[in-house]
Amino acid sequence: MTKSFETRAVHINHEKPLPTNSKVTPIYQSSAFSFKDLDDVEAFYQGKKDYLYSRVGNPNPDELADSVAQLEGAPSGVSASSGLAAILIGVLSMVEAGDEIIASTDIYGGTYELFQTELTSFGITVHFADFKDIDAVEALITDQTKCLYTESITNPLLYVEDLQSIVALAKKHQLKTMIDNTFATPYLINPYSTGINLVVHSATKYLGGHSDITAGVVVGDSELIQKAKTRGVNLGTTLAPMEAWLTVRGIKTLALRMEKQVTNAQALATRLTAHEGVKTVYYPKHASEKGNGAIVTIDLADPIDVGTFFKSLGWVKIVPTLAGVETTVSYPKTTSHRALPTDVQQSLGITEGLVRISVGIENIDDIEAAFVQAINAAKK
């Protein structure tokens, strides 16, 4: 079979045989699996049967994990109930109490809060650094440092990380690495191929693609994934079968959606750069030969009333998430990055006028017109 991404996304093979000849994997909407006798039960614990109880394993979440692993070129993966849950079990596969992590300052606010609040309660220390300055990252490394964490395309300012430099630094100090690849998707970037140990996705976003599921996936080194699976079972981060099934269905159109959304985003970024009501346009550079992502972040120029801007968007919805087929907007300062201290927001450039645009598949002229109308209406 051809190795093209588009074909693989549609024809991913699930290794476990199905009990029927169904073209599409059935939804195993069952909390548990039955056994004919106690010897049959024991066969599960001896590794001769795959499923016992859906918190421990289910064909649908397994198919999702296998699918993303194949698209990322990784040997194995595990699904989770959300992107944040996938981040948690991935991190806990690499660190424990007394260890330290170095994470990028420019990451999703929910991840920042997870690291600052929850990981510290586990006895794990997190230091934050600007990964554009690799020397500053290296200066924070101690004997307790075990992991470097960032995003392939950062949220919300859309910087494309130099993964090769991160991998080189990690190898120099014998550290593990973990990348959130949600914004890029495996369509644009494959961090595992550069030497990254774990790659995580909020599958809620582009993998699902239709704003109707909440899911996460982490893929990578088999040893780490096995630890992450155990963490997930014990912490109860299991993904429901229906959510997994819908996400696998969404992946089949990932290439089509991303091609259109990336093209639209590039055009919108170019057009808004020329608008006097926009002070700065943030859009990724040199992310991939296939494009630079489907998110555009803008900083509105003064004097503009941000509240009026959001009220004037017409058909463009305001939502605290991204990546569906519809164009939407969010306000990082009070939603995705609300947990960041004010001084951290300011240092990153998360201003009063910063707007994150998730570009959809609509006609680009209609998308542009909606934002021009809102910007013009908001001029003081």
Give me the residue label for tokens 């990055």: 337
Q: CA-to-CA distance for 200 and 93, rounded, in angstroms?
A: 13
Query: What pTM, to 2 d.p., does this model score?
Result: 0.94
DSSP H helical segments within 14-113, as ranges? 38-45, 59-72, 83-92, 109-113
Q: CA-to-CA distance for 182 and 153, rounded, in angstroms?
A: 8
Q: Where is 297: in which H helix or E strand?
A: strand 295-300
DSSP-derived secondary structure for 141-193: --TTEEEEEEESB-TTT--B--HHHHHHHHHHTT-EEEEE-TTTHHHH--GGG
DSSP H helical segments within 204-301, as ranges? 222-235, 241-251, 254-273
Q: CA-to-CA distance for 198 and 177, rounded, in angstroms?
A: 6
In angstroms, the Cα distances linking 379 to 280, 311, 332, 350, 374 are 16, 13, 21, 20, 9
Which ranges in the chain are annotated with CATH 3.90.1150.10? 254-377
Residue type, 171: K
**Is CATH 3.40.50.80 what the domain over 31-251 is classified as, yes or no?**
no
CATH of the domain spanning 254-377: 3.90.1150.10
In degrees rounded to 5, what are phi and psi of residue 330?
A: -140, 165
Scored b (16 or more CB within 10 A) or e, 158-197 reads: bbbbebeebbebbeeeebbbbbbbbbbbbbbbbbbebebb
Task: Return the pLDDT at 297.
Answer: 97
Sheet holding 278-282, edge to edge: 278-282, 295-300, 354-358, 328-330, 317-318
**How far does the chain reach from its first CA to its final CA, in angstroms?**
58
Question: Which residue, among 284, 287, 375, has the nearest Cα to 329 in the 3D structure?
Answer: 375
* Burial of residue 153, with CB atoms counted within 10 A of its CB: 0-12 exposed, 13-18 middle, 19 or more buried: buried
Contact 136, 130 (CB under 8 A): yes
Residue type, 371: F
Q: CA-to-CA distance for 36 and 38, rounded, in angstroms?
A: 7
CA angle 371, 187, 217 (to 5 degrees): 100
Give me the residue label for tokens 């109860």: 236
Q: How many CB atoms lie within 10 A of CB 6?
A: 15
Task: Return the pLDDT at 24.
Answer: 85
Which ranges in the chain are annotated with CATH 3.40.640.10? 31-251
Question: Which residue, among 244, 196, 243, has the nearest Cα to 224 in the 3D structure?
Answer: 196
Cα Rg for the chain, rounded, in angstroms? 21
Structure tokens at 29: 């909407």
Contact 199, 221 (CB under 8 A): no
Q: Cβ neighbours of residue 229 under 8 Å, at least 6 residues apart?
A: 78, 89
Q: What is the pLDDT tens value at each position of the chain, 380 positions in all? A: 567 888 888 887 666 656 667 788 889 999 999 999 999 999 999 988 889 999 999 999 999 999 999 999 999 999 999 999 999 999 999 999 999 999 999 999 999 999 999 999 999 999 999 999 999 999 999 999 999 999 999 999 999 999 999 999 999 999 999 999 999 999 999 999 999 999 999 999 999 999 999 999 999 999 999 999 999 999 999 999 999 999 999 999 999 999 999 999 999 999 999 999 999 999 999 999 999 999 999 999 988 899 999 999 999 999 999 999 999 999 988 777 877 778 777 777 788 899 999 999 999 999 999 999 999 999 87
Task: Return the pLDDT at 1.
Answer: 54
Q: Cβ neighbours of residue 37 under 8 Å, at least 6 residues apart?
A: none
